[in-house]
Amino acid sequence: MRFIGDFHVHSHFSIATSQNLIPEQLEYWAKLKGITVVGTGDFTHPGWFEELRAKLKPAENGLYALKDEFRIGGGADPAAHTGKLRFVLTAEISNIYRKDGKTRKVHNLIFAPDFETVARIQGRLSEIGNITSDGRPILGLDSRDLLELVLECSDRCFFVPSHIWTPWFSALGAKSGFDSIGACYGDLSEHIYAIETGLSSDPPMNWLCSFLDRYTIISNSDAHSAEKLGREANLFETELNYDSITGAMKNKNRSFLGTIEFFPQEGKYHYDGHRKCGVRLNPLESLRKNGMCPVCGKKLTIGVLSRVAQLADRDDPSERRNRQPFHSLIPLKELLSEIEGSGVQSNRVVRRYHELLRKCGSELGLLIDCPIEEIRSSGGELLAESVGRMRSGEVHIEEGYDGEYGRIRVFRDDEIRSFNQEASLFVFPGNAHAGGRESTLQEAPLIRSISGQRGGHGK
């Protein structure tokens, strides 16, 4: 069975998240997006644990389904993807601790096969710290020790370092991480089988580091509202059950088909910068300024691209074997917003969004697989052109930095007006998707320059 999974999400019990993060809304939006398996997120929180137990029922081995009485509209919304939706039990932990004379701040994603295992994990963690104040608890526990605890609760648990390059909270982060996965998880590193890219990196950036070759590269939305589901996700062709899903990621076999990605430049930590001063610098510019803000003189926040350059030991990402395909996408509402010249939540954009899904199916299906001619017929010339450009990587980029999201556009200023006036003169790129564009390969020369000025790779 071919399907999409998005495993790293949150609940309404997490700080700074939407109140619509409830099982009903997660199912509703997952179906609109075309997702088959969605993580519950936050299973360590007692309140969310009880809500999940009340609203979910066992389905395939290790997966759960929403009980019929909680389904929005009885599942009858004509805009909704009609396939089945399953939940898998997941949670993210924020580990903040001292190691090797430095404060470490690492986020870790846990998969559990059943509620009984979750109860054991909860019991152990409640003895260590407060798991009730935040859906993503902050614990003064070494990441290695968390991994040990989780495996003691069940050897079927699956453990993934979250968004590994994010500056502030990740295993390889510039501010508080390590220089390798092994340094973070020590003697238990052999139990790490996959790493999560995060929104500010994509597979080619990770392919530049040979020490990551042994890991499956996965991507998830880290959704803080139900509508953000699927902005990054994973593609599978396997049986629909817990062990097959985790096994596909664990064994790097052909059942794992690759990832759905943000354009990484849209991620809010791609470039270096200082948001307060409005300073955004590529890594080479930042290096030339010694990592200091040219406006205020304070330290810049070093972004993901720069951090990858610090640890990269390859010039050519294609040197990694067994590279999985990926798709760099722009959310459908963002494409419609650009076309309509109005906000992503405007009535016009929302109305067109649901109309298109009724005609074309799920959002991800439209963006990845739907033939361009069908999009043109259902959504018009501009939408067909925008999807074609997105698939072939013909986009205009403003990079994100220091907590500020970047912007990816498919049209230049005033081009939409010109397009409407001269539509007959345009040549469409056609159904150009080919399993994902290596969207950051153009940055490889920049990475080589940075590595050379630092005096060698991995230094």
**Percent of the chain whose pLDDT exceeds 90:** 86
Number of domains, the chain? 2
The pLDDT assigned to 442 comes to 54
Do 254 and 340 reside in the same domain of the chain? no
Do 260 and 336 reside in the same domain of the chain? no
What tokens does 149 get? 């605890």
Coil, strand or helix at 268 = coil
Do 191 and 339 reside in the same domain of the chain? no
Do 231 and 340 reside in the same domain of the chain? no
Domain boundary, last residue among 230, 247, 266: 266
Residue 256: inside a domain, yes or no? yes
Domain span at 112: 2-266
Residue 452: inside a domain, yes or no? no
CATH number at residue 119: 3.20.20.140
pLDDT band at 443, cuts 50/70/90? low
The 10s digit of each residue's pLDDT in 44-77 is: 999 999 999 999 999 999 999 999 999 987 544 4
Q: What angle do CA 372, 374, 380 make, to 5 degrees?
A: 80
pLDDT surpasses 80 at 440: no
Do 335 and 260 reside in the same domain of the chain? no
Whether the CB-CB separation of 436 and 258 falls below 8 Å is answered with yes
pLDDT band at 419, cuts 50/70/90? confident
Do 252 and 347 reside in the same domain of the chain? no
The pLDDT assigned to 422 comes to 53
Do 261 and 355 reside in the same domain of the chain? no
Residue 308: inside a domain, yes or no? no
Secondary-structure breakdown of the chain: helix, strand, coil percentages, each rounded to the nearest 5: 40, 20, 40
The pLDDT assigned to 459 comes to 30
The 10s digit of each residue's pLDDT in 284-320 is: 999 999 999 999 999 999 999 999 999 999 989 999 9
**DSSP output for 340-354:** HTS-TTSHHHHHHHH
pLDDT band at 145, cuts 50/70/90? very high
pLDDT band at 436, cuts 50/70/90? very low
What tokens does 114 get? 């059943």
Do 373 and 251 reside in the same domain of the chain? no
Do 12 and 155 reside in the same domain of the chain? yes
User: Position 191: which residue type?
Assistant: H
The pLDDT assigned to 76 comes to 44
Burial call 275-293: b when 16+ CB within 10 Å, e when fewer? eeeebbbbbbbbbeeebeb
Do 255 and 395 reside in the same domain of the chain? no
Residue 315: inside a domain, yes or no? no
| Residue bearing the bigger pLDDT, 244 or 425 | 244
Domain boundary, last residue among 266, 298, 323: 266
Q: What angle do CA 386, 380, 383 make, to 5 degrees?
A: 15
User: What is the rounded distance in angstroms from the CA atom of residue 331 to the CA atom of residue 202?
Assistant: 16
- Give the pLDDT mean for 427-449: 44
CA distances from 145 to 89, 140, 149, 155, 236 (A): 21, 10, 6, 15, 30
The pLDDT assigned to 444 comes to 57
Domain boundary, last residue among 210, 234, 266: 266
What tokens does 200 get? 């500010």
Residue 430: inside a domain, yes or no? no
| Residue bearing the bigger pLDDT, 44 or 431 | 44
User: What is the rounded distance in angstroms from the CA atom of residue 360 to the CA atom of residue 367?
Assistant: 10
